[in-house]
Structure 1
């Protein structure tokens, strides 16, 4: 796997430009990609971490995230895990009323669990000054313990990723349990936050925003009850109501921004200065709703989301929000309530949208054959790494590209005419050498085994290494001829691929490399973005055994065409190993652990 650090940086910049409320804590959902060195990069960029298990929590702390910038969500937390989280000082969102009572018993037995969190760790030299300042500002002075609410606003197009339907495994149902939720805040003074997550891929932004609005209304009710109680107590004592801190200190609105997987276009993600992306042509209806283009260009999905929040739930923004304390105001300060003016801190939990487009996977073609009038291309990429794509291809289709051994794409550019169709599915015996930058730089993409000439297009199955018939990345796809030594490349694998890796067949999980451009030929020049079709090819070649998505032995980089083109123009790429690939001994240790 390869991650484009330039695209990742541009994505984070687009997130930071979006008009979310001041002081918003953006966290990264570790479940999307738990690779430690990637998490360190995100931490240094100023993000917090959202975790959903003890393992993810330990990983976040191990990677240097301050406890006050770590959010622990999970539908199941044991007593030991809850106690660990409380002692660590991380933010904690409780999934249900029974879990709430479990925490109540824990803190009753050990009141020190509610002691103020430890102070932030001293800044590390590698951390940017801005990230240090953000960490200090976001370190809460008190424990932040919230309830996860199911706003019950409906589902998106993928039921398995929609968490705010009438029935859901996640959260406390708002419609049935409103009274119990208000009572919980009256009963437990340490309860001070609310959390929701409507869903992710397939969920329109408008639906997500409706979920935020519903929980903001609940927050307003909590504040109104607290204000009334404060006023009653003051009146009984013959005093005016004192100024008070708000009851809900943090509103965690989850993640859920969908991703366009069907194209290399990233204008919907980053924004653009020209209306060069059609938001209605996206692969997912949720993305179409989240994108917008006008005369000034395409608005990034982050800006679109923030604008919708500002319009629908203005009280989560300071001053510009609602000035009343009624429903929807999130407890926005009224002059007669004594409520401090600062809105609750907004927290987000983005994962997929931050990293999905920034990575591709590559596997060596080991064999090709013809069967039933169809080409079959066998590589090391399959259902172990691309689990959803193989087991649920209708819901999670992937793009499959073929590259020559030196990295040049076998298909011509999207604007060029495709190669001629084949009269026979048999691959051509020879191929014409390519004049690609890779070939000019010494990467032999032409001729013989692994030739990039590609030959004619024919229906092709691209299959993986696992021992079941359904291990396919493409079926009957119109692709040029391939040969052993070529590469199968799958874009957009930065999220929910390696984190969902399957142990079936005991294959080795792949290494993860990061790359960035350095030198004169920077991004945006004629060769285009490195993460696009020209920049994708097999970056890792196994020198001994395995190859593709696993294998053992030493590894060396094989330059893709775009990388070679960068070098030829006087620039270069910098490569960083983010994660070592497994070897067979690692796999044996997994199965034989005692």
Structure 2
């Protein structure tokens, strides 16, 4: 059986067991998410296998981009597999620390780090990548008269261009991220910064993610390596300890095939940035979506069906709250939809064109438009694959829609599917507690025998 068929069969097996155990229930658990922890482990191993170690590079630290899935139990699982953690906010830093990542294996990237955030990161020994000249000067002020165990680098915008999704392209000529390397005077100004700050020993770049071709990403890394070589030539061997090449490997959302592979990206890096593998520099990576996306899926019940203008519509409990990017930018972020019956068995009826709608109160809350699927009925389940990164882990609280439960999934020693609660479902009737209120709500009055007409 091919890997693609195995992926679909495993999804169905997980779904059937979740229904059997009541983790999905048409009355009480209308929407749930699943993270395949066995798949995560295998994907981490693929990443490790793709990148060479000594003597080609001085050392490789693979960090997980926490924004892709910031749930602490998931981060803890990745730490257990030997990854570090890349964070972009104080909240993500707090989650990384709570997951047990040692500070020296955490990388802090953000274009808007506050003085207090930098103080904490430098005191802990967290790696810091400065995003601008002003941030470098702020760090210099904080380090005056003191030392820090932090690796400190500067993010370069190598300005190699954008990919198919503008919002995901971070190396355009006008990107908000990093020091634009090709802008007049910036290269010389950076060299002066390295001369003035002996603690500045790393270079960082990140070209983009979904929609960015591998050769574009590799050309961005090549620019960073070329600049690191320039600093080395100016100030001597060892002046640059390493290069943080970011992450950004795109994901195939069209089917279950895992493509591109980490090894394919390394081939592009070898072609465009051979100096990365010359043994001169240590390397940090920051992959996120490519580690988690295909190892997670959503499942939601169909509550009602109807037709409008001759097109069938299935109204489900999964929408903008768990698929925000797809709802607001469907052309850039299309997702697959699979149809199952209420027991978790794949539906194989003849497909018809239909819309798959979410529960939110606006017309655009659609997971799919005019999609060919087996006819959906009330009580059926829709599954949304490839959502292990960014989707259910970062819910959008529109309409006060509650966060769904997230279950970790493993195959036990006896071959059975085992579930571990990663995040409990929110009770919609207790959401007011998040507002600092604990107000008892009116309870429904049971109908009495004989009432009604």
1:35 and 2:71 correspond: yes
Q: Which ranges of 4 or more aligned residues in structure 1 deviate by more than 4 Å? A: none
Say if 1:157 and 1:202, in contact at 8 Å, map to a contact too.
yes
Q: Which residues of structure 2 form unaligned runs of 5+?
A: 1-32, 439-453
Give the Cα separation in 2 of the matches to 1:344 and 1:478.
51
Identify the residue that residue 542 of structure 1 maps to in structure 2. Answer: none
- Counterpart of 1:581 in structure 2 is 425
Q: Is 1:504 matched with 2:398?
A: yes
Alignment check: 8 A CA contact 1:144 1:250 kept: no
Mapped pair 1:221 → 2:253: no
Q: Following the alignment from structure 2 to structure 1, what is the Cα–Cα distance between the partners of residues 293 and 403?
A: 18
Structure 1 residues 377-429: Cα deviation after superposition (integer angstroms, max 9, x where no partner): 111100111001101111111111111011011136xxxxxx2xxxxxxxxxx
Does residue 312 of the first structure (1) align with residue 272 of the second (2)?
yes
- Label 1:343 to 1:587 Cα distance change in 2 as closer, same or farther (>3 A): farther
| Partner SS state of residue 192, structure 1 | strand
Cα distance between partner residues in 1 of 2:401 and 2:280:
50
Aligned counterpart, 1:360? 297
Question: In structure 2, how many angstroms separate the alpha carbons of the residues matched to 1:80 and 1:61?
Answer: 17
Q: CA deviation at 1:154?
A: 0.8
Q: CA 1:381–1:28 in 2, change beyond 3 Å: closer, same or farther?
A: same
Aligned equivalent of 2:372, options 478, 483, 498? 478
Deviation at 1:593, TM superposition (A): 7.2
Query: CA contact under 8 A between 2:160 and 2:219: conserved in structure 1?
Result: yes
Instruction: Determine which of 106, 111, 120 is the counterpart of 1:75.
Output: 111
TM-score (norm 1): 0.65
Matches within 5 A, 1:285-304: 291=260, 301-304=261-264
Alpha-carbon displacement from aligned partner over 1:438-472 (angstroms, at most 9, x marks no partner): xxxxxxxxxxxxxxxxxxx3321111110000001
**Which of 141, 157, 163 matches 1:156?**
163
Offset from partner CA, 1:87-131 (integer Å, 9 cap, x none): 1110000000011111111222xx33x24x4xxxxxxxxxxxxxx
**Hey, what's the Cα distance between the residues in 1 that align with 2:157 and 2:274?**
21
Task: From the superposition, tell whether residues 586 and 218 of structure 1 become closer, same or farther in structure 2 (CA, over 3 Å).
Answer: farther
Aligned counterpart, 1:494: 388
Q: CA deviation at 1:480?
A: 2.3
Show the counterpart of 2:410.
516
Structure 1 distance, partners of 2:217, 2:46, is 20
Kindly state the Cα deviation for residue 186 of structure 1 after the two structures are TM-superposed: 0.2
1:201 is matched with which residue? 210
Counterpart of 1:95 in structure 2 is 131
Task: Give the deviation of 1:585 after TM superposition.
Answer: 5.5
Q: Distance in 2 between matches of 1:589 and 1:171?
A: 40
Partner secondary structure for residue 397 of structure 1: coil
Matched residue, 2:46: 14
Q: What residue is the counterpart of 1:66 in the other structure? A: 102
Partner residue of 1:373?
310
Q: CA RMSD in A?
A: 1.6
The aligned counterpart of 1:464 is 358
Higher-RCO chain (CA-CA 8 Å, sequence separation at least 6):
2
- Tell me which moved more, 352-361 or 579-588: 579-588
1:466-485 Cα distance to aligned partner (Å, 9 max, x none): 00000011122222222222
TM-score by length of 2: 0.85
1:409 aligns with 2:377: no
Whether the 8 Å CA contact 2:298–2:392 is kept in 1: the answer is no
Q: Partners in 2 of 1:19 and 1:42 — Cα distance?
A: 17
Distance 1:410 1:472 in 2: 21
1:312 Cα deviation from its structure 2 partner? 2.7
Equivalent residues in 2 for 1:212-361, closer than 5 Å: 212-227=221-236, 246-266=238-258, 268=259, 291=260, 301-317=261-277, 321=278, 343-361=280-298
**Aligned-residue offset at 1:499:** 4.0
